[in-house]
Amino acid sequence: MKFKTPIKLAWLRFTSCSGCQLMFVNCESSLAALAKIVVLDTFPLVSSASSMNEPVDITLVEGSVSTPSEIERLLSIRRKSRLLVAIGACALTGGVNTLVKGERSMSLAEIYGDQGADWDTFSPQPVHHFVKVDGQIPGCPPERHELLESIGAILQGGWRGHQVMPVCMECRSNENRCLLTEDHAPCLGPVTAAGCNALCPGLGVPCEGCRGEVSESNRDELLNLLIEAGLSEQEIRHRLERFGEAPYGQADR
Amino acid sequence: MARLIVDPLTRVEGHGRVELLLEGDRLHDVKVRLLESPRLFETLVVGRRYDEVPDLICRICAICSAVHKLTSLQALEKAMDVVVPPMAVTLRELLLLGGHIQSHALHLFCLILPDLRDSTDVVDLLRQEDSLAKGGLGLKALGNRIQQVAGGRIIHPINPVFGGVAYSPERSELEALAAELSNWRRDWPDFAKSFLQAGNYPESSRVLGNAVATGQADAFTLTGEHLWHEKTAAVPASDYASLLGERSREDSHAKDAAGEAGPFLTGALARARLAAGRGLPMTISEDNLGIHENNIAQLREIEWALQRAGQLLDLLLGADRAEPLQAQHKAPHAGVGTAAVEAPRGLLVHHYVVDEWGTVVAADIVTPTSINQRVMAAQIMADLADEQNHQRLMAVAERIVRAYDPCISCAVHLVPVAAS
C-alpha cells in the first residue's frame, strides 16, 4: 500500500491507561521529524484537529472494547481508515482490564452504587474481536522505537514484522544473569515475545509478560520452573494472566 | 432550552465532554461528563497479593503511573508496618519528581501552548519550528529520563518494589542527570516567560473551590501525613474519607467528594495556596488569571522540582552504595494502610485492607479529577455567565477544563454527571 506524505494519523482510545498514546508524545526528540511526515487528525489527547468524516491513512487503536458505544466508534473509524493498527496489551489481548472476575454488574454496583448497575458495559475484549486489524504493536506500554519503526515501515509500504523470539534470547545476547534459573524469581521471559531488549530482567526485575505470549512457547516447562521457584498454583495463574488470558499470542497475527 | 456540546474534550487526558445549557442567550447550567469506560480497579485488586497490587494499580493511568505505584506501595507498607530504608525513599522521591516534571511539561508545552499560539497541536507547532514547543519537549524528555533512571521505565516503572527499590542506578547515570538538571535550572526562567502573560488567557472570575492537598508543615513537599485544607484544620491522611465526604457503599447514590468542607480544589494551584498559608515560599502571579493561574502554579513547581531533584541527586551520589535498598522485615500481616501523595494534578489517596497473608481484601482510591469535577462545572458557570457568543462559550469552557489538567482515566471514582 502506497502513502503520500504527509499522512493523516488518527488515534482512538478505548478502555486503557493512555500509556500507548503517551508513548507517542514521549518520542520527544523524534516529534519534529515526525511533524514533517505526519498530520494529526482525530487524536484527542494531543490535538484539537478533527475533520470528522474525512478518510485517514492510519488509525492506531489503543485499549480494549467494553461498551456498545466503543464498538460504534471502532466501526466508524475502521470505515474511514486505510490501515488500522492495534497497539498495546489492552487492544491485543484485553490487558489488565480482563482481571475483573465474576459478574460485572456486581463490581459496578460495588464501586459506583446503584447507578453503576445500569451501566451498559461488557467484559473487555481485544480489538480484533470486532474489526479487521492490519497490524499489532505489543507491550504495556510498547517501546518508543516500536511505534516509530511501525510508522516508518508503513510509509515504505510494508510492516515491521512480528517477533518470533522470547525475551530470554535478548537476555542471552545481553549476557544478563538468569533470574529464573539462578535466582528462582518468577520471570516470564521464556514465554514472552521479545522486542523490549529484555528491559526489566536486564535491571534485575523479573519479566511480567507485558508483551504477550511468544509463538511456540514452552509453557509446560515454565510452569515446572515456577513451581520449583516456590510459587503456588494460584500465584502462577495470577502472574500468567496479568495482561489478558488466552488467546495471548495474538501478537503473532 | 438550547444545548451546546463540546465532545470530545481535546488536549485533556481521557474521554469527557461538556454540555452547556442555555436559556435565551445566557448560560443556565453546565454539565461536565466524564465518559471513561469503567475499569473497576478497586475490585480487580481484591484477592491479589500485596506485592502484585502496585504493578496492577499503576495501570490506572500512564501519565500518573509512577505516583499511583508509589502511593499504593506506601499504603501497603503502612498496612504491614514495613519501614523503607532511606536510600529507597530518596530514589522513590526522585522518581516522583521525574513524573511531576514530565506531566507538567506535557500539560504546559503540549496541551496548553497550542492555545497560546492559536494552533491545534504540538506537532503542528513543531512543523512551524516553534522554539518554545521544541524547548518544552526537551524539559519533558528530562522528566522522562529521571523516570527512566530512578524507575527503570518511563511508564509503569519497575524499580519501586514492596519494601524499597529493586536496584540502585549506575553512578554515571546519576551524574549525567545532575549535569542536565543544573543546565535546566540555568535556562528555565526564559522558558517560563511566555506563560506568564495575562493576555494569553481568557478572562476568568475568582477561583472557586476550597483548596485541599497533602504536604508537610515546614517544607513544600508532595508527600505528607496530613491533609491541609483552607477552611478546616489539617487532618491525618487516614481521615480522608470524612473530609472529602466520599459516600460509603451503603448510601452511595452519588459517589463523589461531597464533603461539607467542599467543593474542593486540588492540584498545583491548591498546593501553592495552601503552602502560602503555611508561610512557605511558593508564590504565584500577581495578575488575576482565575483558574488559568493553575498553569503558573505548575511553572513554579517545575522550578521547585528542578531544585529538589538536584538535592536528591547530591544525596544519592554522596551515599554509600552498600546501604540497604529494601526493608529487613517485610513479612505480611493483617492491617489497614492509607497513603496520600500529590499527583501532578492533585491529591491522590490509596487505602487498602489486607488479611494475615497479605492478600488485599478491600481497596479505595480517590483521584484528583474526581475531587475536582464538581468545581470544574461551577467554574465554567461563573466565568461564562455573561458570555453570549456560542463559539466563545464552547472554546472557553474547553480551556477552563483544560486548565485543571484533568486526568479522566484516573477518575475511577467518577460520577457520570457533575452539574454546577
**pLDDT tens digit sequence for B72-111:** 999 999 999 999 999 999 999 999 999 999 999 999 999 9
Per-residue confidence (pLDDT) for residue B34, from 0 to 100: 81
**A200 contacts B158? CB cut-off 8 A:** yes
Per-residue confidence (pLDDT) for residue A248, from 0 to 100: 37
What chain A residue is nearest to B10 in terms of C-alpha separation?
A44
Per-residue confidence (pLDDT) for residue A247, from 0 to 100: 40
**B44 contacts A113? CB cut-off 8 A:** no
**A16 contacts B409? CB cut-off 8 A:** yes
Per-residue confidence (pLDDT) for residue A161, from 0 to 100: 82
User: For residue A29, is pLDDT > 70?
Assistant: yes
Residue B175 vs residues B87, B171, B181: alpha-carbon distances, Å: 16, 6, 10
Once rounded to an integer, what is the mean pLDDT over residues B52-70? 96
DSSP string, B272-326: HHHHHHTT-S----SS--GGGHHHHHHHHHHHHHHHHHHHHHHHHHHS-TTS-SB
Kindly report the nearest CA distance between residue B320 and chain A, in angstroms: 20
As a whole number of angstroms, the distance between CA A47 and CA A149 comes to 22
Percent helix, percent strand, percent coil in chain A, to nearest 5: 40, 15, 45
Q: How many residues does chain A have?
A: 253
Residues of A in contact with B110 (CB under 8 A): 25, 46
Per-residue confidence (pLDDT) for residue B420, from 0 to 100: 46
Partner B contacted by A164 (CB < 8 A): no
User: For residue A38, is pLDDT > 60?
Assistant: yes
Q: Number of Cβ pairs closer than 8 Å across A and B?
A: 175
The pLDDT tens digits for B115-128 are 999 999 999 999 99
The interface residues of chain B toward chain A in range 131-190, judged by CB-CB distance below 8 A, are 134, 137-138, 140-141, 144, 152-156, 158-159, 161, 166-167
User: For residue A132, is pLDDT > 90?
Assistant: yes
Kindly report the nearest CA distance between residue B61 and chain A, in angstroms: 4
**B61 contacts A113? CB cut-off 8 A:** no
Per-residue confidence (pLDDT) for residue B189, from 0 to 100: 85
**A32 contacts B126? CB cut-off 8 A:** yes
A113: left (phi over 0), alpha (psi -120 to 50) or beta: left
Q: What is the mean pLDDT of chain B?
A: 90
Share of chain B above pLDDT 70, in %: 94
> Confidence band (pLDDT; 50, 70, 90) for A194?
very high
Per-residue confidence (pLDDT) for residue B256, from 0 to 100: 57
As a whole number of angstroms, the distance between CA B139 and CA B137 comes to 5
Per-residue confidence (pLDDT) for residue B252, from 0 to 100: 30
**Which helix (DSSP H) or strand (DSSP E) does residue A82 occupy?**
strand A81-87
Per-residue confidence (pLDDT) for residue A252, from 0 to 100: 38
What chain A residue is nearest to B68 in terms of C-alpha separation?
A17
The pLDDT tens digits for B199-235 are 888 988 889 999 999 999 999 999 999 999 988 889 9
Per-residue confidence (pLDDT) for residue B253, from 0 to 100: 31
Per-residue confidence (pLDDT) for residue A250, from 0 to 100: 40
Nearest to B210, CA basis, from B244, B248, B254: B244
The interface residues of chain B toward chain A in range 356-385, judged by CB-CB distance below 8 A, are none
Rg over alpha carbons for chain B, rounded to the nearest Å, is 21
Share of chain A above pLDDT 90, in %: 71
The DSSP 8-state label assigned to residue A199 in this structure reads H
**B252 contacts A113? CB cut-off 8 A:** yes
The answer to whether the CB of B261 falls within 8 A of the CB of B232 is: yes
Strand-pair partners of B223: B341
Rg over alpha carbons for chain A, rounded to the nearest Å, is 19
**A235 contacts B56? CB cut-off 8 A:** no
**A116 contacts B38? CB cut-off 8 A:** yes
Cβ neighbours for A17, distance < 8 A, ≥ 6 positions apart: A90, B59, B60, B61, B62, B65, B409
What chain A residue is nearest to B108 in terms of C-alpha separation?
A46
Partner A contacted by B322 (CB < 8 A): no
The pLDDT tens digits for B334-369 are 999 999 999 999 999 999 999 999 999 999 999 998
B419, exposed or middle or buried, with CB in 10 Å at 0-12, 13-18, 19+?
Answer: middle
Residue A41 vs residues A51, A57, A110, A221, B345: alpha-carbon distances, Å: 7, 10, 38, 47, 27
The pLDDT tens digits for B242-301 are 898 865 333 333 345 667 777 899 999 999 999 988 888 776 766 788 999 999 999 999
User: For residue B195, is pLDDT > 80?
Assistant: no
The DSSP 8-state label assigned to residue B111 in this structure reads I
Chain centroid to Cα A34, Å, comes to: 22
The answer to whether the CB of B79 falls within 8 A of the CB of B353 is: yes
**A13 contacts B156? CB cut-off 8 A:** no
**B10 contacts A22? CB cut-off 8 A:** no
Per-residue confidence (pLDDT) for residue B245, from 0 to 100: 81
Select from A23, A39, A48 the residue whose CB has the most chain B CBs within 10 Å, as the one to mutate to test that interface: A48
A132, exposed or middle or buried, with CB in 10 Å at 0-12, 13-18, 19+?
Answer: exposed
Chain centroid to Cα B22, Å, comes to: 32
Cβ neighbours for B279, distance < 8 A, ≥ 6 positions apart: none
> Confidence band (pLDDT; 50, 70, 90) for A108?
confident
Once rounded to an integer, what is the mean pLDDT over residues B311-339? 95
As a whole number of angstroms, the distance between CA A226 and CA B59 comes to 25
**B55 contacts A242? CB cut-off 8 A:** yes
